[in-house]
């Protein structure tokens, strides 16, 4: 019998989950959203006939094997707990929750029940990440000592229309939406675990202009540089972090500790605006980007005069699903692993609610370092 799933959330993540579930052989029997027009549009785009707006009633009626949560984070806990009570396996988009307490409650709702639970920090499935994990496991740069993860998006958020991304209580901010991927990548590559952490998160603007309604995260960035905030007749309070610095000690798979620095901001750019570097005792491995098809890995050894490019192994690229874009490919691989586990074929290492809780706990610590002052204000 074909396994059935219900997806809750009709934005970008909802689309990614639907395509990923189908790629894994699951029938998506219904889509539940918040706003009628974009929800019906997404359902029509993907050929889903059962559309609803009361997910509780829908889950009670349908009792699917899998519930896939693709909403903003403020609703994650209530959906996950309800689904678990019905005996459904649960997938949740990152961040797992808006705070560590809710993430821990979600974890407790599924652990020990026999239910499978997946946390969609899918950046770990990028080919560069897969290849780098193998390089480090092979010891090509010796013992890992330092790790750097940097990103500059060059998209001032106070110039973009107000939406859930501007509010922490809805799951907005850079820590929830970028750091979650970067942390998952580093822990996966190093086969490590968090040992100690400190940090700060900065709210660069305390207001955002009200403009076109945003129902899909891609719409927000499509407006960058094209929408003039001076058109706005109203500005609303914003409290989400748009820059962060997190320092950590990571206990590696070999038992040693490495220092890690995570830094990101919506401000500015560099010749390599997003990169990840691992520094070992005999060399360094540098990744330019982690999503696009043309992203590259380079290696510099202590005895070398320059950087050399490291090709992605054909076994890695051929082992990943085919997809319309690199981000969807990562969703597809995540769902293939999750569904295989639900079918009893074994756990292949996909992120779980445990990983989501760890990320939420780290984010809580980073936010405690914020002094409450915004860089940009209209007052």
Q: Beta strand 207-209 with 235-237: parallel, antiparallel or unpaired?
A: antiparallel
CA distance 216 to 220: 7
Q: Is the pLDDT of residue 178 over 50?
A: yes
Instruction: Please give the structure tokens belonging to residue 40.
Output: 């019906």
- What's the whole-number mean pLDDT along residues 223-243? 90
Q: Is 358 exposed, middle or buried (0-12, 13-18, 19+ CB in 10 A)?
A: buried
- Range 125-324+361-367 has CATH code 3.30.360.10: yes
Say which DSSP state 176 is in.
I
Res 227: pLDDT: 85
Taking only the tens place, the pLDDT of each residue in 137-157 is: 999 999 999 999 999 988 887
Specify the residue for token string 């997946």. Answer: 118
For the residues of 7-56, what is the DSSP string, one character each? EE--SHHHHHHHHHHHHTT-EEEEEE-SSHHHHHHHHHHHT---EES-HH
Res 368: pLDDT: 86
Res 311: pLDDT: 92
Distance (Å) of CA 89 to CA 63, 68, 210, 286, 359: 11, 9, 38, 37, 21
Taking only the tens place, the pLDDT of each residue in 29-47 is: 999 999 999 999 999 999 9
Residue of 126, 123, 143 whose CA lies nearest to 190: 143
Note if the bond before 95 is cis, omega within 30 degrees: yes
Residue 344, sorted as left (phi over 0), alpha (psi -120 to 50) or beta, turns out to be left
Alpha helices in 111-179 (DSSP H): 127-137, 174
Q: Where are the beta strands (DSSP E) in 75-116?
A: 89-93
CA distance 349 to 337: 8
Between helices 180-190 and 353-367, what is the axis angle to 10°? 120
Taking only the tens place, the pLDDT of each residue in 79-111 is: 999 999 999 999 999 999 999 999 999 999 999
3-state secondary structure of 73: helix
Q: Is the pLDDT of residue 217 over 70?
A: yes
Residue of 236, 264, 258, 255 whose CA lies nearest to 366: 264
Name the fold adopted by 4-123+328-352.
Rossmann fold (3.40.50)
CA distance 186 to 37: 39
Q: Is the pLDDT of residue 231 over 90?
A: no
3-state secondary structure of 138: coil
3-state secondary structure of 149: strand
Q: Is the pLDDT of residue 372 over 80?
A: no
Q: Is the pLDDT of residue 303 over 90?
A: no
Contact 348, 337 (CB under 8 A): yes
- What's the whole-number mean pLDDT along residues 257-283? 94
Please report, for the chain, the start and end positions of each structural domain, with discontinuous segments joined by +: 4-123+328-352, 125-324+361-367
Instruction: Please give the structure tokens belonging to residue 281.
Output: 């005792």
Name the pLDDT band for 169 (thresholds 50, 70, 90).
very high
Contact 109, 115 (CB under 8 A): no
Query: How many Cβ atoms from other residues are within 10 Å of residue 84's Cβ?
Result: 20
């Amino acid at each position: 019998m074909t396994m059935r799933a219900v997806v809750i959330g009709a934005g970008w993540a909802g689309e990614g989950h639907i395509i990923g579930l189908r790629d894994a052989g699951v029938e998506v029997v219904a889509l539940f959203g918040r706003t009628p027009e974009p929800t019906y549009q997404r359902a029509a785009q993907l050929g889903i006939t059962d559309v609803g707006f009361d997910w509780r009633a829908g889950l009670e009626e349908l009792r699917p094997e899998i519930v896939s949560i693709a909403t903003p984070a403020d609703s994650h806990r209530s959906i996950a707990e309800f689904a678990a009570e019905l005996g459904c396996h649960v997938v949740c988009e990152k961040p797992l929750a808006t705070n560590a307490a809710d993430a821990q409650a979600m974890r407790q709702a599924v652990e020990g029940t026999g239910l499978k639970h997946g946390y969609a920090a899918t950046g770990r499935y990028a080919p560069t990440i897969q290849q780098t994990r193998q390089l480090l496991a092979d010891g090509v740069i010796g013992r890992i000592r330092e790790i750097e993860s940097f990103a500059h998006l060059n998209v001032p958020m106070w110039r973009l229309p107000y939406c859930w991304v501007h509010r922490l209580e809805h799951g907005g901010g850079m820590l929830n939406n970028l750091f979650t991927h970067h942390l998952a990548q580093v822990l996966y590559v190093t086969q490590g675990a968090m040992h100690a952490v400190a940090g700060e998160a900065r709210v660069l603007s305390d207001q955002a202009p009200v403009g076109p309604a945003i129902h899909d995260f891609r719409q927000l960035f499509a407006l960058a540089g094209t929408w003039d905030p001076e058109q706005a007749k109203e500005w609303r309070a914003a409290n989400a972090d748009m820059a962060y610095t997190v320092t950590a000690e990571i206990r590696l798979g070999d038992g040693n500790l490495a220092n890690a620095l995570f830094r990101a901001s919506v401000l500015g750019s560099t010749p390599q605006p997003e990169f990840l570097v691992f520094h070992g005792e005999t060399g360094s491995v540098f990744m330019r980007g982690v999503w696009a098809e043309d992203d590259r890995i380079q290696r510099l050894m202590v005895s070398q005069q320059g950087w050399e490019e490291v090709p992605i192994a054909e076994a890695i690229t051929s082992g990943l699903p085919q997809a319309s874009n690199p981000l969807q490919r990562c969703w597809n691989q995540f769902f293939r692993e999750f569904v295989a586990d639900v079918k009893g074929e074994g756990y292949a290492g996909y992120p779980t609610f445990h990983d989501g809780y760890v990320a939420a706990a780290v984010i809580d610590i980073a936010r405690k370092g914020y002094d409450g002052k915004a860089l940009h204000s209209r007052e």
